[in-house]
């Protein structure tokens, strides 16, 4: 008789950051691995590093960020994973 229309798929797309290399814009000169707030802006809630295509970083700075994040983990500034 009556068929229910299938629900439209709600595609939740979270945009984390604007696509722009923040480091290229010149505000940050050096990346400090002790700067937790900075590093946290480049990791997800679960502690994963945000990929370049999401963060919008250029290759050079993404590499620098990745290194800083790894260092920061070692130093205990940011968590390895959030449980
Ligand atoms: Zn850059």
Q: Is residue 6 part of a domain?
A: no
CATH of residue 26's domain is 4.10.640.10
Output the CA 77–ligand 1 centroid distance in Å: 23
Q: Is residue 55 part of a domain?
A: yes
Q: Is residue 12 part of a domain?
A: no
**Residue 65 predicted with pLDDT over 80:** yes
Q: What is the dihedral of CA 13, 59, 77, 82, to 10 degrees?
A: 30
Output the CA 76–ligand 1 centroid distance in Å: 26
Structurally, how many domains does the chain consist of?
A: 1
Its pTM stands at: 0.71
Domain of residue 44, residue span: 17-83
- The helix (run of H) or strand (run of E) holding residue 61 is helix 59-75
Q: Is residue 3 part of a domain?
A: no
Mean pLDDT over each residue of the chain, to the nearest integer: 82
Q: Is residue 35 part of a domain?
A: yes
Q: How confident is the model at residue 2 (pLDDT cuts 50, 70, 90)?
A: low
Output the CA 2–ligand 1 centroid distance in Å: 56
Output the CA 62–ligand 1 centroid distance in Å: 7
- Residue pair 71/78 in contact (Cβ under 8 Å)? The answer is no
DSSP state of 13: -
Output the CA 15–ligand 1 centroid distance in Å: 19
């Amino acid at each position: 008789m009556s068929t229910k229309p299938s629900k439209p798929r709600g595609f939740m797309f979270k945009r984390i950051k604007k696509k722009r290399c923040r480091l290229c814009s010149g505000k940050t000169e050096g990346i400090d691995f002790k700067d937790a707030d900075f590093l946290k802006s480049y990791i997800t809630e679960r502690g994963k590093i945000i990929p370049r295509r999401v963060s919008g970083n250029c290759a050079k700075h993404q590499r620098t960020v990745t290194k800083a994040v790894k260092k920061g983990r070692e130093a205990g500034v940011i968590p390895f994973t959030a449980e």
